[in-house]
Structure 1
Amino acid sequence: MSRQRLTIGTFGEIGFLSSPSGRTVARARYRDWDGKSRLVQATGEGRRAAERALKAKLAERSLFQPTSSILTPDSPFPDLVAYWLEDLELEGRVSKRTMQLYERNMRTLVLPAFESLTLREIGVARCDHFLKQLSRQSYNRARQARVVLRLALGLAVRHEVLPRNPMDHVSQLRKPESAPNALTPAEVNVIRIAIAFWESGRPVPGPKPDGQLSTIVEVMLGTSARIGEVLAIRRRDIDVTSAVPSIRISGTIVSHRGEPTMRQDHPKTARSSRTVAIPAFAAEAVRRRLARLDDPSPDALLFRSREGTPLTTNNVRRQLRHVLSMAGIDGVTPHMFRRTVATAINEQASVELAAELLGHTDPRITIQHYIRRNEMVNPRTAELLEQVFGGTP
C-alpha cells in the first residue's frame, strides 16, 4: 500500500486480493473526517469491477463529523426548509414578522422550483438559473428568494450536510435603474387640501372622518418617521411645551398573522430610536390631536381606533389611497412622505443631516433609496461660461 500522506477525503494506492470465493477484493486506506486513516474494501468480479465498487464506496463516505441532524445530502429540500424554520424559531433572533415573511417567501417563491429536489442536487448553476428567471419577472421577488435560499442552504453547510453554499457563487442580481419618487412642496399642499376637504364633513362615502389622517401626514412630514413608527407614538413620547418641540421615536406598530395589532417597543432598527425636533406645523397638528385625546395616561397612543386599539398600517394606507383617489391623486404612499422629507433636507442642508433624521447608519442608503435627484445644474456654470466665451469678437 502507498505510504503517501493523505488529506481528508483522499485514499491511497488501491491493492487487490483474491477472496476464498474467487472474487477480487479491492482495498485502500482512506483518511476520514477525524484525520484517521482507515482501511476500506469492496469486492467484485475481477479487478475492474472491484475497483469501481471501492471507488463508489469511498465516494459515499462523509467528509464531515457525524451529527444528530436528521438531514443528509439526499434529504428532500422541503425537509431542510422545515428544519431551517424550526431552527430560526429556536434561535429567537428574528422578529415574528420577519419569520412570517421568510416562511411566505420560501413557500411562494422558492419551494415551487425546488420541492422535488434533494439537497445534493441543488448546485450553483441551478440556483443561478432560478434567480435569473425570477428576476425577469420581478427584481424584488428574486431578491427576497435569494435571501431565504441562502439562509436555508447556509444552515445545511453549518450542520455539515453540504460542503458549501451554492448561493455564495451565483451572479449578482442587477437592480433596474429607478429614481426615488418624492413630492414637491406644491404636491404636498394639494394632498393637504384633499385631506382637509374630506375631513371637513362634506358628504363623502365611507366612515365619518375622525381628523386623524391629516395629523398623521403632518407628523410624517415633520419627523420623517415610518408609518408604523408614527402610529406607535404615545403621549409620553411628545413634548410640545418646550421652546423646541420634539417627538421621541421609540416603537412601531406590528400586525402578526393571527394576533391582534400591537405596539412593539422598538422601531425597525436600533439606530431608528431617536428624538426628533419637529417644525411648527407638526407641533400645532399634534397639539390639536392631544386636545381631542380623552385618555390621559402616558402610554396612550396618539393615534388609535374608535375602540382604543392601535391603528394598523394597512388601514391607514388604504384610507390615504381612498381619500386621494377621490381627489384624482394616485400613487401616493405613506413612505413617499419619508422620501419627500429626505429630499428636502438634502437640498436645504446635506445628505448627512438627512440620513441622521431618517435614522440611517449609512448615508448611501439615503442617497440610493430616499433622495430624488435634482436634475437642475448649478446656474453658476452659465456665469462662468459667459466670462470665458461671452466676449464680443
Structure 2
Amino acid sequence: MRNGQVQARTRFRDDDGRIRRVAATGPGRAAAERKLKVALTHRTTRSSYAELTPDSSFTHLVELWLEDLDLEDKVAQSTRALYERNMRQLVLPTFEHYTLREISVSRVDRFLKALAKNKSYSTAKQAKTVLSLVFGLAVRYDALRENPVRETARLRRPPSQALALTSEQIEVIREAVRGWRRESGLCGPKPDGQLEQIIEVMLGTSGRIGEVLALRKCDVDVTRTPATVRICGTIVSPARKPTRRQDHPKTSKSSRTVSVPSFTSEVLRARLVVVSDEDPEHLLFFTRNHTPLTTNNIRRRLRAALDGTQIAGVTPHSFRRTVATFVDRAAGSELAADLLGHTSADITRAHYIEPNEHVNPVTAEILEALAPQVHDSGQDDSGG
C-alpha cells in the first residue's frame, strides 16, 4: 500500500452462508495476518453448539444442555432445578470423563440397570430422563446420529401398592398434630395451628401440598353450600431464589374447582377471618412474615408431629391417596381422577387408589342360583 502498510485479505463464509471478503492492514505481513485473524474471530457469531462433535466431552454437552434449557424457558424452574440436580448427582459421576462417541447403548444400558438394582427404579428412571434429554440435544446439533438412550432396555417398575390411611389412623394423626409442641416448658414459639388446618384442607380437597399452600383468599367461596375452593396455583421454591406462588398447578387439568366437606369449610372460614383485612390475592397459609410457606417446611413439621406414634411413613401425599381411595370406594375411579385433577383414571388407579381385596358381597346372592336343588324325600306309596 502507498503508506507502507500491508493488507491481508481472505474470503470468509459467514453464519448466513454467504461468502464475503475480509481484510486487515498492518505495518508488515505478519502483523496484517495477525489482525486479520483477530477480525475473523470477532466477526464470527457461531454459537458454542457448533463446537459439538463426537469427540466433545460429555461434561461439555451437559453445560450446553443446561444453557439450552434456560434459552428455551419451557420448563418450570423447579423442574429445571430437578433436572440439573439429577444430572450432576446421578449421571455425571459416571460419564464425565467420556467423549460422546464413547458412550454407547450398552454402556448406558448397564449404567441404568445397575442404578435400578443398587438404588431404586425411581432413581434409574430420573437418570434415564435427563440422559435422553441431553443426548437429544447432541443429535439435534449433529454431534451424534442417534440417541443411545432410545435403544436401552425398558426399566421395569417393581410391583407396588398405594396405601391409604384409615379413618382411625387419621384421628391418631389429628390428635398427634394438635398436641405437638404444646407442652409447657418448651423453648420457642408454640405452633400456630396451621399444620392441622392444612391437613383438613388436604383431606377435603385432595390438593397436593403445594396447591393447598397456594390457596388465596379469592380462591375460596364459603357463601355456597357446600363451600368451594378453586385450585389454580402451587408453591415453588427455585434454587437460590425465594419461595413464591406459581399461577398454575402441575398440569392444565390440575386447575379445578372442588366442593368441600363441612370440616374443611370450617377451617376455610377460620382462615378467612385471619386474612379479613388483607387483599384478595393474599395467601390463606403463610409464615409470620406473611411470606409463602415451603412444602419442605410442612413435611418436616408433619414428621416431627408424628414422631413417636405408631403410624410410619406418612407424608402430605398420603392424604391425597386416602382421598382417592375413599372416593373410589363410594363412586368409582373416574370421579376420583376428576377430584385429583388427573388426565386419566388409569393414573389414579395405578398410583393413588389402594387395591380393594374385598369383592362386592352381591356375588353371594348371584351365586345362589347354583345351589343344589332340593328333592322330595317322601316314601313311595306303590307297595302294600
- Same-fold call, TM > 0.5? yes
- 1:343-380 per-residue CA deviation (whole Å, 9 max, x = no partner) reads 11111001111111111111111111100000111222
Q: Residues 136 and 147 of structure 2 are in contact (CA less than 8 Å); yes or no, is this contact kept in structure 1?
A: yes
Shift of 1:294: 5.5
Aligned to 2:244: 262
Matched, 1:310 2:298: no
What's 1:168 paired with? 150
Q: Write the distance in 1 (CA, Å) between the matches of 2:245 and 2:366.
A: 56
Give the 3-state SS of the residue equivalent to 2:50 in structure 1: coil
Tell me how far apart the structure 1 counterparts of residues 155 and 319 of structure 2 sit (CA, whole Å).
28
Residue 14 of structure 1 aligns with which residue?
Answer: none
Match of 1:368 in 2: 350
Task: Indicate if the aligned counterparts of 2:206 and 2:319 stay in contact, CA closer than 8 A.
Answer: yes
Partner residue in 1 for 2:193: 211
Distance in 1 between the 2:126 and 2:300 partners?
Answer: 24
Per-residue Cα deviation, 1:21-74 (whole angstroms, up to 9, x for no partner): xxxxxxxxxxxxxxxxxxxxxxxxxxxxxxxxxxxxxxxxxxxxxx96111001
Partners of 2:275 and 2:262 lie apart in 1 by 20
Aligned to 1:85: 66
Residues 68 and 222 (structure 1 numbering): CA distance in 2 closer, same or farther, change over 3 Å? closer
Superposition RMSD on alpha carbons, in Å?
1.8
Q: Distance in 1 between matches of 2:373 and 2:306?
A: 53
Conserved 8 A contact 2:87-2:127: yes
Measured in 2, the distance between the counterparts of 1:281 and 1:155 equals 51
1:234-245 matches, cutoff 5 A: 234-245=216-227
Q: Is the 8 A contact 1:212 1:289 kept in 2?
A: no
Residues 1:132 and 2:113 are matched in the alignment: yes
Alignment correspondent of 2:89: 108
Residue 347 of structure 1: SS of its match in structure 2? Answer: helix
Q: Cα offset for 1:392? A: 6.0
Shift of 1:292: 2.8
What is the number of residues matched between the two proteins?
Answer: 326
Q: Indicate the percent of aligned positions where both proteins have the same amino acid.
A: 56
- Give the SS at the match of 1:69: helix
Between the aligned partners of 2:61 and 2:49, the Cα distance in structure 1 is: 14
Q: 1:202 to 1:155 in 2, by over 3 A?
A: same
Alignment equivalent of 1:150, drawn from 132, 141, 146: 132
**1:79-126: CA deviations, max 9, x gaps?**
110111111110110111111111111111111111111111111111
Quote the residue 1:74 is aligned against. Answer: 55
- Change in CA separation of 1:295 and 1:136 when aligned onto 2, cut-off 3 Å: farther
Task: Choose the corresponding residue for 2:169, options 147, 172, 187.
Answer: 187
Mapped to 2, the partners of 1:194 and 1:126 lie a distance apart of 50
- Contact kept, 8 Å, 2:217 with 2:275, in 1: the verdict is no
Cα distance between partner residues in 2 of 1:109 and 1:185: 39
8 Å contact kept, 1:245–1:278: yes
Work out the CA distance in 2 between the residues paired with 1:203 and 1:143. Answer: 47
| TM-score normalised by L of structure 1 | 0.79
CA separation of 1:341 and 1:112: change in aligned 2, threshold 3 A: same
Deviations 1:148-206 (Å, cap 9, x if unpaired)?
0000001111111111111111100011110011111221122122223338x443856
Q: Which residue of 2 aligns with 1:196?
A: 178
Alignment equivalent of 1:275, drawn from 217, 239, 257: 257
Q: 1:307 to 1:294 in 2, by over 3 A?
A: farther
**Structure 2 residue identity aligned to 1:340:** T
Q: Distance in 2 between matches of 1:241 and 1:272?
A: 24
Q: In 2, distance between residues paired with 1:382 and 1:202?
A: 53
**Which residue among 340, 343, 352 is the counterpart of 2:325?**
343
Report if the CA contact (8 A) 2:234-2:249 is conserved. yes
Match of 2:361 in 1: 379
Match of 1:123 among 90, 93, 104: 104
CA 1:187–1:204 in 2, change beyond 3 Å: closer, same or farther? farther
Give the distance between the partners of 2:86 and 2:185, measured in 1 at CA.
39
Residues 199-257 of structure 1: per-residue CA shift (max 9 Å, x gap): 8x443856401111111011001110000010010101110112231011111111112
1:68/1:377 CA distance change after superposition, 3 Å: closer
Question: Residues 188 and 130 of structure 1: is their aligned pair in 2 closer, same or farther, counting only changes over 3 Å?
Answer: same
Q: Aligned partners of 1:308 and 1:248: how far apart in 2?
A: 21
Alignment correspondent of 2:279: 297
Native 8 Å contact 2:214 2:283 kept in 1: yes
Q: CA deviation at 1:328?
A: 4.1
